[in-house]
């Protein structure tokens, strides 16, 4: 189990478009990815669950990868989040 | 069109030639009042201005305006040319001649222009334009000079003699019996500026003053009646009367009191008697006014009074007011039952009709036009007071005023008194017509205003749910969703294009049979207030191989967007709720799941 902590930097929050991309990314990985905020923890493969987190600019996130190439996959998700600026 | 509408329109055509030029009439009236030999400050040199202004400027302006109203600037020019012919041909101020020649010659040049349009060799347009107007204008001026000049002089003298006869026999007060009802039928401008002003000016030229200016414009009768409503009225009639008094008596906008007449038709007897009493008094003391009273305000009366007669004329106005008040009072006090009947008689006819016409949402309303007969008095007043209220809610809607006969193309909503609805429908069939009983306080105005206020619109309701829909592809499905958002008053039409654009950037299909169509970030400006619509497509809509059965159209203003998505996410994340949503068969079920 690999875990990473980041602060979300997308100006407009984690809205529908990046969520679609994230779900697509997560589905291509061989680890199970969970994302949690102070509110709750959800599966990153469910778009609706991600929406329900209501992630806005400045929200602190924890990314947890289990199984498969855990470390590598966790980094890929972090990289994805960091690429979102708007 | 009904006959009354036709009469009003004809009257409107007459008064529309005079009303834009009232300022010139006032300039002439002031010069006369101040500088004529018996004026406040006699000055023989400046007094020379008087005759040319009256005999040339005013008829030419009327002829120009009359032509302009028919055929634009070319119509105006030829109207002025032919009016000049009549002016020189006669020896009375040629207002009637101008009112005939102006529109007539403009109509002729318009027909000519239509005939030659498209047949002119390129490069010759200016030559043909200028010479056609010049030659036709020349012919009309000569015809006017040789024929109409004398005819109109003869006609004017005949009418003038008729009025003198009425005055001599002391029958002039009786004309109130015709004028007062005609006024409240919205023929006020037609009667005053179409008929009385030219007669009055002719008489003033002969005797230095005329009582004719007082026949229609006297603010006294309406003032007295409104005061009676203020003292003895009940409810909205009482509370709105003080404002109406101010607008009518000082502002000179008489239309404001017509609805008070409609609510008790027999009260018309009060202004009739008031006006008659005033005319009788003025005839007895031989008082008259120098120029046009427009608007019909007490201030205009004072300014247009000959030196030494101000007190007499103000007394005349007050006599009219007192008589009208005394007659109105018992009618108002004893007729609350009758009033209800009258209200029922007057309003439902229009209201019912109105209900069937399409009510526009705030997204479809960009231009609101307040309309009255002339488009200058009561409509301007109502428009500015409504604009003040609307400004507190939104800046993006323009509020203007116009004549009910010439509503501008861009009007989305036309607001007018219910007696003018017929004419409004005729001149602006594309617009929503809102009939009013009262220009200042009317529930219909509050309703119109409420369409723009955000609190009135809910984010989501059963009406926002559309089930059993069908679409050929995802784009037409998204357009349907967008149309529903527009219809709900949540977004401007441009938002729909932004939804398509958003789909092109990346799909709004979110998985598990659900898509969340929404606009781009830039299109947030097109959102009026946040809202959600739901579309059910039992056969599914194809999103790149996956099928969406439920489309949730989202328009979130500001931070609302993320909040709405978060809320939807919370609901749809729940597998049980998602499955219920996908299998729901009634709007109510869907509403229960999503609310």
The residue whose two tokens read 């984010």 is B459
Q: What is the CATH number of the domain that holds B565?
A: 3.40.930.10
Strands across the sheet with B367-372, in order? Answer: B398-403, B367-372, B413-417, B432-436
Cross-chain Cβ contact B565/A16 below 8 Å: yes
DSSP B146-193: IIIHHHHHHHHHHHHHHHHHHHHTT-GGGHHHHHHHHIIIIIHHIIII
The residue whose two tokens read 């898509």 is B515
For residue A20, which residues of chain B lie inside 8 Å, CB to CB?
506-510
- Classify residue B372 as left (phi > 0), alpha (psi -120 to 50) or beta: beta
Residue B450 and residue B426 in one domain: yes
- The number of folded domains in chain B is 2
State which residues form the domain around B395.
359-455
**Residue B136 pLDDT:** 96
Cβ atoms within 10 Å, residue B273: 22
For residue B511, which residues of chain A lie inside 8 Å, CB to CB?
23, 46-48
Residue B572 and residue B464 in one domain: yes
Cross-chain Cβ contact B507/A20 below 8 Å: yes
Out of B505, B562, B573, the one facing A48 most closely (by C-beta) is: B573
Out of B507, B508, B566, the one facing A51 most closely (by C-beta) is: B566
Out of B569, B571, B578, the one facing A50 most closely (by C-beta) is: B569
Out of A17, A21, A52, the one facing B569 most closely (by C-beta) is: A52
User: Which residue from B261, B146, B137, B276 is spatially nearest to B211, judged by alpha carbons?
Assistant: B276
Strand pairing of A2-7 and A60-66? antiparallel
Q: Is B505 on the interface with A (CB under 8 A)?
A: yes
For residue A17, which residues of chain B lie inside 8 Å, CB to CB?
502, 505-506
- Could you tell me where the beta strands, DSSP code E, fall in B378-454? 398-403, 413-417, 432-436
In terms of Cβ atoms closer than 10 Å to its own Cβ (0-12, 13-18, 19+), residue A31 is buried
Distances (CA, A) of B115 to B112, B120, B122, B145, B247: 5, 10, 16, 27, 49
Residue B505 and residue B385 in one domain: no
Q: How far is B486 from chain A (nearest CA, A)?
A: 21
For residue B509, which residues of chain A lie inside 8 Å, CB to CB?
20
Cross-chain Cβ contact A52/B507 below 8 Å: no
Closest CA in chain A for residue B524: A12
Average pLDDT over chain A reads 87
Q: How far is B584 from chain A (nearest CA, A)?
A: 19
Identify the H or E element spanning B212: helix B212-217
For residue A23, which residues of chain B lie inside 8 Å, CB to CB?
511
**Residue A27 pLDDT:** 87
For residue A48, which residues of chain B lie inside 8 Å, CB to CB?
510-512, 514, 568-573, 578
Give B376's contacts (C-beta < 8 A, 6+ positions apart): B19, B401, B403
Distance CA B243, CA B299 (A): 17
Residue B522 lies in a domain: yes
Distance CA B176, CA B274 (A): 9
Residue B171 lies in a domain: no
Q: What spatial distance separates the first Cα and last Cα of chain A, rounded to whole Å?
A: 30
Residue B414 and residue B461 in one domain: no
Residue B451 and residue B465 in one domain: no
Q: State which of B410, B425, B455 marks the end of a domain.
A: B455
Closest CA in chain B for residue A18: B506
Q: For residues B192 and B15, is the Cβ–Cβ distance under 8 A?
A: yes
Residue B572 lies in a domain: yes
Out of B507, B512, B568, the one facing A51 most closely (by C-beta) is: B568
Residue B166 lies in a domain: no
Residue B449 and residue B487 in one domain: no
Q: What is the CATH number of the domain that holds B383?
A: 3.40.50.2300
User: Which residue from B320, B128, B307 is spatially nearest to B216, judged by alpha carbons?
Assistant: B320
Residue B31 lies in a domain: no
Distances (CA, A) of B557 to A16, B492, B551, B567: 15, 12, 19, 15
Cβ atoms within 10 Å, residue B266: 11
Q: How far is B499 from chain A (nearest CA, A)?
A: 12
Distance CA B160, CA B202 (A): 8
For residue B524, which residues of chain A lie inside 8 Å, CB to CB?
none
Residue B437 and residue B501 in one domain: no
Task: Mark B56-67 as b/e (b = at least 16 C-beta within 10 Å).
Answer: bbbbbbbbbbbb
> A61-77, pLDDT tens digit by residue?
899 999 888 889 899 89
Tokens of B580: 């219920």
Return the number of CB contacts < 8 Å for A and B: 66
**Residue B336 pLDDT:** 57
Q: Please give the torsion angle defined by the CA atoms of residues B344, B349, B351 and B354, in that order, rounded to the nearest 10 degrees.
A: 180
Full-model pTM: 0.56
Task: Mark B404-437 as b/e (b = at least 16 C-beta within 10 Å).
Answer: bbebeeebbbbbbbbbbbbbbbbbbeebbbbbbb
Q: State which of B455, B486, B521 marks the end of a domain.
A: B455
Cross-chain Cβ contact B510/A20 below 8 Å: yes
For residue A50, which residues of chain B lie inside 8 Å, CB to CB?
569
Residue B469 and residue B542 in one domain: yes
Q: For residues B32 and B179, is the Cβ–Cβ distance under 8 A?
A: no
CA angle centred on B119, ends B116 and B123, rounded to 5°: 110
Q: For residues B213 and B304, is the Cβ–Cβ distance under 8 A?
A: yes
Cross-chain Cβ contact B569/A16 below 8 Å: no
**Residue B350 pLDDT:** 41
- Residues forming beta bridges with residue B432, ordered by sequence position: B413
Q: Which of A8, A40, A47 to substitute to test the interface with B, most B CBs within 10 Å?
A: A47
Q: For residues B380 and B402, is the Cβ–Cβ distance under 8 A?
A: no
Strands across the sheet with B546-555, in order? Answer: B465-466, B531-543, B546-555, B514-515, B509-511
Cross-chain Cβ contact B514/A48 below 8 Å: yes
Residue B403 and residue B506 in one domain: no
- Residues forming beta bridges with residue B309, ordered by sequence position: none
Residue B545 and residue B577 in one domain: yes
- Could you tell me where the beta strands, DSSP code E, fall in B337-478? 367-372, 398-403, 413-417, 432-436, 465-466
Cross-chain Cβ contact A48/B507 below 8 Å: no
**Residue B357 pLDDT:** 57
Cross-chain Cβ contact B509/A20 below 8 Å: yes
Cross-chain Cβ contact B511/A16 below 8 Å: no
CA angle centred on B368, ends B367 and B370, rounded to 5°: 145
Residue B537 lies in a domain: yes
Closest CA in chain A for residue B511: A47
Residue B441 and residue B480 in one domain: no
Cross-chain Cβ contact B521/A12 below 8 Å: yes
- Please give the domain boundaries of chain A with CATH numbers for all domains: 2-83 (3.30.1340.10)
**Residue B337 pLDDT:** 42
CA atoms within 13 A of residue A12's CA, in its CB half-sphere: 16
Out of A15, A19, A48, the one facing B561 most closely (by C-beta) is: A15
For residue B561, which residues of chain A lie inside 8 Å, CB to CB?
13, 15
Distance CA B378, CA B386 (A): 12
Q: Is B570 on the interface with A (CB under 8 A)?
A: yes
Q: Is B509 on the interface with A (CB under 8 A)?
A: yes
Q: How far is A20 from chain B (nearest CA, A)?
A: 6
**Residue B63 pLDDT:** 95
Residue B442 lies in a domain: yes
- What string of pLDDT tens digits covers the 595 residues of chain B? 677 778 788 888 888 888 888 888 888 888 888 888 877 788 889 989 988 988 899 999 999 999 999 999 999 999 999 999 999 988 777 888 898 999 999 999 999 999 998 888 888 888 999 999 999 999 999 999 998 888 888 877 787 778 778 877 778 888 888 889 888 877 787 788 878 888 888 888 888 889 999 999 999 999 999 999 999 988 777 887 888 898 889 988 888 888 788 778 889 999 999 999 999 999 899 899 998 888 889 999 999 998 889 999 999 999 999 999 999 999 988 865 444 434 443 443 344 344 445 677 777 788 999 998 888 888 888 888 888 888 877 777 889 999 888 888 889 899 988 888 888 888 888 888 988 887 777 788 888 887 776 544 577 888 888 888 888 888 999 999 998 888 887 888 889 998 998 888 888 888 888 998 998 888 888 888 888 899 999 888 988 888 899 999 988 877 778 888 888 888 888 888 888 888 888 888 888 888 7
How large is the ipTM? 0.85
Residue B487 and residue B583 in one domain: yes
Catalytically active residues of B are 372, 518
Using a CB–CB cut-off of 8 Å, the residues of A that contact B are 12-13, 15-17, 19-21, 23, 42, 46-54, 56, 86
For residue B562, which residues of chain A lie inside 8 Å, CB to CB?
12-13, 15, 54, 56
Q: State which of B400, B422, B455 marks the end of a domain.
A: B455
Cross-chain Cβ contact B510/A47 below 8 Å: yes
**Residue B338 pLDDT:** 44
Residue B22 lies in a domain: no
Distance CA B595, CA B589 (A): 10
Give A57's contacts (C-beta < 8 A, 6+ positions apart): A8, A9, A10, A11, A12, A13
């Amino acid at each position: 189990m690999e875990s990473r902590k980041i602060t979300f930097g997308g100006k407009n929050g984690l809205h529908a478009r990046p969520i679609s991309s994230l779900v697509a990314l997560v589905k291509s990985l061989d680890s199970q990815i969970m994302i949690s905020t102070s509110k709750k923890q959800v599966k990153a493969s469910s778009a609706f669950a991600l929406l329900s987190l209501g992630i806005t600019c400045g929200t602190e996130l924890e990314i947890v990868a289990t199984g498969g190439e855990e470390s590598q996959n966790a980094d890929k998700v972090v990289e994805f989040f960091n690429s979102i600026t708007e | 069109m009904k006959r009354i509408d036709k009469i009003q329109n004809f009257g409107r055509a007459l008064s529309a030639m005079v009303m834009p030029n009232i300022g010139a009439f006032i300039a002439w009236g002031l010069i006369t009042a101040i500088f004529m030999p018996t004026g406040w400050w006699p000055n023989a040199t400046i007094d020379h201005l008087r005759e040319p202004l009256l005999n040339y400027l005013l008829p030419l302006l009327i002829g120009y305006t009359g032509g302009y109203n028919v055929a634009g600037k070319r119509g105006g020019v030829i109207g002025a040319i032919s009016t000049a012919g009549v002016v020189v041909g006669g020896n009375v101020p040629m207002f009637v001649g101008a009112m005939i020649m102006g529109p007539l010659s403009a109509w002729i040049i318009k027909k000519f222009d239509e005939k030659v349009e498209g047949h002119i060799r390129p490069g010759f347009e200016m030559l043909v334009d200028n010479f056609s107007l010049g030659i036709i204008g020349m012919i009309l001026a000569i015809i006017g000079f040789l024929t109409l000049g004398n005819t109109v002089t003869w006609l004017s003298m005949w009418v003038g003699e008729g009025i003198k006869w009425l005055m001599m026999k002391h029958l002039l007060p009786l004309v109130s019996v015709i004028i007062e009802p005609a006024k409240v039928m919205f023929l006020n401008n037609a009667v005053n500026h179409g008929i009385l002003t030219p007669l009055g000016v002719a008489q003033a030229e002969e005797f230095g003053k005329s009582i004719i200016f007082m026949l229609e414009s006297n603010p006294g009768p309406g003032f007295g009646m409104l005061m009676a409503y203020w003292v003895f009225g009940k409810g909205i009639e009482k509370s709105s009367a003080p404002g109406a008094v101010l607008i009518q008596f000082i502002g000179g906008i008489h239309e404001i009191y017509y609805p008070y007449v409609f609510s008790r038709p027999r009260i018309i007897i009060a202004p009739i008697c008031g006006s008659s009493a005033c005319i009788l008094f003025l005839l007895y003391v031989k008082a008259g006014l120098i120029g046009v009273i427009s608007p019909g305000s007490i201030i205009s009366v004072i300014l247009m009074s000959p030196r030494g007669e101000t007190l007499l004329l103000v007394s005349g106005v007050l006599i009219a007011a007192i008589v009208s008040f005394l007659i109105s009072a018992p009618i108002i006090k004893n007729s609350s039952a009758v009033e209800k009947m009258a209200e029922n008689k007057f309003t439902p006819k229009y209201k019912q009709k109105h209900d069937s016409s399409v009510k526009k949402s705030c997204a479809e309303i960009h231009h609101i036009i307040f309309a009255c007969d002339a488009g200058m008095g009561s409509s301007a007043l109502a428009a500015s007071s409504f604009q003040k209220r609307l400004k507190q809610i939104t800046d993006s809607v323009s509020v203007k005023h116009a004549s009910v006969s010439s509503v501008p193309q861009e009007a989305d909503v036309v607001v007018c008194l219910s007696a003018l609805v017929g004419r409004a429908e005729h001149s602006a069939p594309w617009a929503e017509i809102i009939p009013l009983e009262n220009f200042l306080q009317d529930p219909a105005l509050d309703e119109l205003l409420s369409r723009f206020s955000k609190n009135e619109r809910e984010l989501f309701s059963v009406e926002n749910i559309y089930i059993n829909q069908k679409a050929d592809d995802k784009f037409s499905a998204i357009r349907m969703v967008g149309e529903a958002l527009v219809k709900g008053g949540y977004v401007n039409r441009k938002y729909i294009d932004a939804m398509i654009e958003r789909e092109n950037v990346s799909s709004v299909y979110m998985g598990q049979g659900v898509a969340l169509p929404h606009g781009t970030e830039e299109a947030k400006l097109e959102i009026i207030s946040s809202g959600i619509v739901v579309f059910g497509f039992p056969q599914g809509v194809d999103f790149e191989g996956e099928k969406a059965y439920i489309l949730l159209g989202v328009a979130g203003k500001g931070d609302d967007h993320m909040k709405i998505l978060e809320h939807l996410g919370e609901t749809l994340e729940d597998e049980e709720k998602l499955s219920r949503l996908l299998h729901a068969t009634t709007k109510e079920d869907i509403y229960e799941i999503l609310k």
